[in-house]
Structure 1
Amino acid sequence: MDAKRAVTIRDVAERAKVSISTVSHAFSGSRPISQATKDRVTRAAVELGYDPNPSARSLRTGRSGIVGLILRPRYALVGTSDRAETFNRLVGAVATEMLRHKTGLLHVPDINDSSAARVPMDGCIVAHPYGDDSVLTELLRRGVPVVTVEEDPSRPEFAWAVRLDYATVVTALLDHLREHGAERVALLTGSEDNAWNRRTREAYLAWCGEPRVHTLSEGLTRADAAELVRPLLASRDRPDAVVVATSDFAALVTEVAGSLGLRVPEDLLIASLTDSEHSRLASPPITAMDLNHEGLAKQAVELMLGRLAGAAEPTEALVLDPVLHLRASTSRATGTP
C-alpha cells in the first residue's frame, strides 16, 4: 500500500474480506458481530495501521467525524409544529442513525451563508432537493461528498441518492379509488418543484384519461386553501375523488366537503400523498401515502458513511417503497354512485 495515502475503512474491509458496514459495526458495536469477525477486523486494522478512534483519526486525516444535514423544502417549517411532522420524522431518524454509527450530525440552515463555509463537516446529506437544486450544485462545486434523501428530479443520473418509487404506489392508490367507484379523480398537487410533486403528478397523468390537476401551494394558509377548494367541490362537475398532496390540506378538504353537505366516503373519496396526525385523526381517517422517512434515513446514512469510507460510486440510486395506508376515507362500497 502507498505509504503516503491514509488508510481507510475500505482498506480494512478488503484486508479482512468483509463489507465496509461490517467493519463499521465491529468498531462501533452498533450491530451484533461474531467474535471471530471482530478479531479478523481488528487484526486487519492493526496490520494496516488504521485507528478507529475518531479524534485520533481526525488529527491524521483532517476529518471531523461530523456529517451535515440540509432540509430543502422551503415550507417544511411553515405553520404549527404538528404540520412539520413529516420532516420531524426524517430529521429525527437521520439523527438516530448517526448516533448508532457514533457519528456527529450538524444541521446546516443555509449553505450560502459565509459562516457555512467554515462548517466542519466531512460530507452532507441533502433532503428533498429541488429540480436543479442550487444547494446541491454549490456543494458539488466545493467538492463536498453529498448524498441525497430523494432525488434531484432534474439529475436522475446522480447515483449517491436514496429515492422513493412513487409511480407504483400512486398507481395502486388510483386503482384503489377506481375499484371503489371513483370516475372523476382530481389531483391537488403542491407547488414545490421536487421529486415528491413531480413524480406523483407524472404517475397521476400517466394513469388518468381526463386529468383534473389543481395546484394547492404548500405555503397557503388554511383559509386561503379552503377558498380554492370550495368552488372545486361545489361545481356541478365536481370530482368524486380527490388526492391531496399534504395531509393537513387533505383534512381541510374533508371539512370543506362537510360544509357543502358532501359525505366522505359516500359522496367523495379523499386520499393524501403524505401521512401525519392530520390524516390519521381526521373524521373519517384519511387514506395516505407514508414517505417511509425512517427507511430513507437509514439507507442515506449508510450510503454516506460508505462514501466517506471510500466505497465505489453506485451505478444508480437506491430505491425504496413508500407505504400506502388504506383508511375509511376511501372505503366506499364498490359500485356506490
Structure 2
Amino acid sequence: MTAVTLKDVAVRAGVSIKTVSNVVRGVPQVSDATRERVTRAVRELGYRPNPSARRLRTGRSGLIALAVPDLVTPYFAELAQHVRAEAVELGLTVLIEETMGDATEELRLATGVGAALLDGVILSPLHASLDELAPVADRFPLVLLGERSYERDQVAADHVLIDNIAAAREATAHLAGLGRRRIAAIGVKAHSGATSRQRLEGFQRALHEAGLTYDPRLVPLVELFDRHNGLLAMRALMALPPDVRPDAVFCFSDLLAAGALRALYEAGLDIPGQVAVASIDGSEEALYSTPSLTSVVPDKAAIAAMAVRSLAARIRSEEPLPFEVHLAPHRLVVRESTDGVRRPLP
C-alpha cells in the first residue's frame, strides 16, 4: 500500500504542501478553519509523518529533548509546559525525560539518547559535573538549566539560569524588613549542590546587611527539596529552645515551604503572626496554599524561551557558536505568609 504523502493531504485539503507541513509541525500561524481542514484530511487519509524522510531531507529530525530531575516537582512541570510552547513556535517537537537526579542518566541523555534521533537536548543536571558535560557540548547541541558556579570565561556549554544569590538575598531581606530577628533557612543539604550553596550565600548576605548573626542552629539540613523534608526541618526548628526558635523562615523551594507550613499548622502557630514564611520557585502551589506563600518567582517563560532559542540556534548553525550564559529575570511576590493580608484569588 503506497504511503500517504504531504502532497496527498494538501490536495485533499485544498491547501499548499507548506501549509500542511505547518499544521503537522504545530506551527501556530495557521487559521483555525485551515487547521481543521488539514487535520480532517490527515485523519481521512491516515497520513503519518516520516521523521526519517525529514532527516534525510534537512539533516534534522525536528525533535529535541528536555531532561529534568522529575515532573512531580511543580517547578519542573510548569517549566516543561513553557518549553513545549516555545518549541512549537519554532516548529520543534519536545521529548520530555526524567533523570531522577542520577548522574549516569543525566550524561546518557545529554548525548541525545543516540544522536541519530534527537537534534539537541535541554538538560537540568543535579549531579553530572561540568567537566563531564563539557565534551558533550563540544560535539552535540546542549543547553544547561540550573545553577553552576564558574567564571564566564570558563563557560563550557550554553547555560540558562537565574541569579540565585540575589533571589535568596531579596527573600531574606524582605523577612528582615518585617522586623524578624531569628530567621531560619530550610534547604541546606549535607552534600549541597550549587543551588543550595548559592541560596545559602544569598541568605547569609541578607542577614549580614540587616545586622543579624548567622546561627547554624537555625539551618537544619535536608536530604531533598520536597514537602516531607520541609515538614521535618520545621518540626526540628520548633523543638529549639524558645529564645532560639525562629520567627521567620526562608525555604529554598516552594515544596520545602509547603512542608514547613504544614508543621506550623500542626503546632497551632499563627502565620505570619508568630512565624513568617518566604520561599523561592513561584509555582502555582505557592498561590493556592493556605496561607498563600510569599515566593521569589523566576520567569519560567523567559527561561524556556532562552533555552529553546539557544538550542535551536546551535542546531541550525553551520559553524560552532561560542557558549553563552543567559540570565533570566525573577521577582519577589509578597503574599499572606509574610504580610498577613488576605487576597482573593483572581
- Normalized against structure 2, the TM-score is what? 0.68
Distance 2:325 2:52 in 1: 32
In structure 2, the residue matched to 1:240 is 247
Secondary structure of the equivalent of 1:323?
Answer: strand
- Of 312, 322, 325, which residue of structure 1 is paired with 2:333? 325
Q: Spell out the pairing of 1:56-75 with structure 2 (5 A cutoff).
A: 58-60=55-57, 62-71=59-68, 73=69
In structure 1, the residue matched to 2:144 is 148
Gaps of 5+ in 1: 1-27, 33-53
Kept after mapping to 1: 8 A contact 2:183/2:249: yes
Query: Root-mean-square deviation (CA), in Å?
Result: 3.5
- Of 133, 137, 140, which residue of structure 2 is paired with 1:136? 133
Segment of structure 1 superposing worse, 278-287 or 295-304: 278-287
CA distance 1:29–1:258, shift in 2 (3 Å): closer
Distance 1:290 1:115 in 2: 30
Q: How many residues align?
A: 278
Kept after mapping to 2: 8 A contact 1:126/1:149: yes
Distance 2:232 2:147 in 1: 33
Following superposition, the deviation at residue 276 of structure 1 comes to 2.9
In structure 2, the residue matched to 1:217 is 223
Amino acid aligned to 2:249: V
Kept after mapping to 1: 8 A contact 2:79/2:300: yes
Per-residue deviation, residues 275-324 of structure 1 (Å, max 9, x unmatched): 33432222221101223222101111111111122276356411111232
Kept after mapping to 2: 8 A contact 1:65/1:122: yes
Distance 1:304 1:65 in 2: 12
Distance 1:119 1:323 in 2: 40
Amino acid aligned to 2:170: A
Amino acid aligned to 2:67: I
Identical columns (%): 24
Distance 1:315 1:124 in 2: 15
Q: Spell out the pairing of 1:239-258 with structure 2 (5 A cutoff).
A: 239-258=246-265
Larger RCO (CA within 8 A; separation ≥ 6): 1
Kept after mapping to 1: 8 A contact 2:226/2:255: no
CA distance 1:277–1:97, shift in 2 (3 Å): closer
Following superposition, the deviation at residue 188 of structure 1 comes to 0.6
In structure 2, the residue matched to 1:302 is 309
CA distance 1:296–1:99, shift in 2 (3 Å): same
Following superposition, the deviation at residue 160 of structure 1 comes to 1.2
- Of 175, 198, 209, which residue of structure 1 is paired with 2:173? 175
CA distance 1:102–1:61, shift in 2 (3 Å): closer
Gaps of 5+ in 2: 1-25, 31-50, 99-104, 342-346
Amino acid aligned to 1:323: R
Following superposition, the deviation at residue 152 of structure 1 comes to 3.3
In structure 1, the residue matched to 2:231 is 226
Distance 1:227 1:292 in 2: 29
In structure 2, the residue matched to 1:125 is 122
Distance 2:116 2:200 in 1: 37
Distance 2:78 2:309 in 1: 18
Segment of structure 1 superposing worse, 249-258 or 300-309: 249-258
Kept after mapping to 1: 8 A contact 2:188/2:197: no
CA distance 1:327–1:308, shift in 2 (3 Å): same
